[in-house]
Amino acid sequence: MEALSTFGQLLVAGLLTGLVFALVAVGLTLVYGVMDVVNFAHGEFVMLAMYAGFGLALLGIGPLVGLPLVSIALFLFGIVVYRLFVRRLLAGPPEASVFGTFGLLVLMQGLAQALFTSDYRSVPNPPFQGTVQLGVFALPQAALVEGLGAIVLTAALFAFIEYSPVGRAMRAVSEDRTAATLMGIDVQRINLLAFGLGAACAGAAGALLLLSNPAFPDVGASFALTAFVVVALGGFGSIAGALLGALIVGVMEVLGGYYLSPELKLVPVYLAYLIVVLARPQGLLGRR
């Protein structure tokens, strides 16, 4: 009975962890789906958002009020980065976008170190501390808010892609770029919007993650590495897949950390990536 309730507690903790991963992964998978680019700097976008949220907190603006502001700021940042940089990468060979976005990762981490130093920055007196008792489960409030935010964000993005005219155009571009152009869709504009939207997702993720994590220059990398696995697991380009993949990875990581050892918590995650990518390269919910 004891073991069962521990398992249940771990399962819930894992699902909440997974929702946080989903937060980071949806923006990544959106950009990939539309323009076939894995943005290796996506984690650094999250890091930038966390510093932005931290700055707002110092001005007395709380994380939830700050969230839309940070998202809009990151949307604009994404637009600028696309116009100046990503557009050129897309014109080059595929490896250009792999190492180009990797270069952006290095550049942004370096800038953060140079400007903000490597110190950990935590929001003073953050809201949503303490736990909520749900039946037998004690759940941290911050994780609940982050999880709720992830569900809302994923649902909103999903609805946008499925039902809005721009979302329909994005799906058309991701399915067949040439045909989409022939149907009168401005592919460059759709790419631009998708990249901005992906960055805005990173903005929302960063603002929420600040509830339970300090901001520091490498913070994005720790989330992004898992996010790549999540996105591959769910299927590159699939938003529902990203959510499913994130929940699976979250549960595996928490269970692995408890039953194996904290040092080994990522072993089942990486093994799962390798198995999925070898046996079913399109991921769980992706299409070929």
Q: What is the binding site for another protein (CB under 8 A)?
A: 38, 85, 88-89, 92-100, 102-114, 117-118, 217, 225, 228-229, 232, 236, 263-264, 266-267, 270-271, 273-274, 277-278, 281
User: Is 209 in contact with 146 (CB distance < 8 Å)?
Assistant: yes
Identify whether the C-beta of residue 222 lies closer than 8 Å to the C-beta of residue 232: no
Nearer Cβ to another protein (4/115): 115
Whole-angstrom distance, CA of residue 44 vs CA of residue 36: 19
- Give 63 or 100: the residue with its C-beta nearer to another protein: 100
Beta carbon of residue 101, minimum distance to another protein (angstroms, whole number): 8
Supply the minimum distance, in Å, between the C-beta of residue 113 and another protein: 3
User: Encoding tokens for residue 116?
Assistant: 């903000």
- Report in angstroms how near the CB of residue 108 gets to another protein at its nearest: 7
β strands within the chain, DSSP E: 131-134, 137-140
Task: Indicate the residue among 193 and 232 with the shorter CB distance to another protein.
Answer: 232
CA dihedral 107, 174, 202, 62 (to 10 degrees): 150
Minimum CB separation of residue 143 from another protein in Å reads: 25
Q: How far is the CB of 24 from another protein (least distance, A)?
A: 15
Q: Which amino acid is at 166?
A: V
We find the least distance from the C-beta atom of residue 199 to another protein, in angstroms, to be 16
Unique residue bearing structure tokens 């907190």: 57
Nearer to another protein, 132 or 274 (CB): 274
Nearer to another protein, 185 or 228 (CB): 228
**Which DSSP letter does residue 241 get?**
H
Q: What is the dihedral of CA 32, 38, 40, 43, to 10 degrees?
A: 20
- We find the least distance from the C-beta atom of residue 154 to another protein, in angstroms, to be 22
Alpha-carbon gap, residue 127 to 134, rounded angstroms: 19
Residue 245 C-alpha from the chain's centroid: 12
8 vs 92 by CB, closer to another protein:
92
Minimum CB distance to another protein smaller for 54 or for 228: 228
Let me know: does 175 contact 52? Beta carbons within 8 Å: no
Q: Which two tokens stand for residue 55?
A: 């700055």
Min CB(93)–another protein separation in Å: 4
With tokens 């571009």, the residue in question is 173
The number of helices, as runs of H, and strands, as runs of E, in the chain is: 12, 2
Dihedral (Cα; 27, 33, 37, 39), 10-degree rounding: 10
Residue number with CB closer to another protein (66 or 100): 100
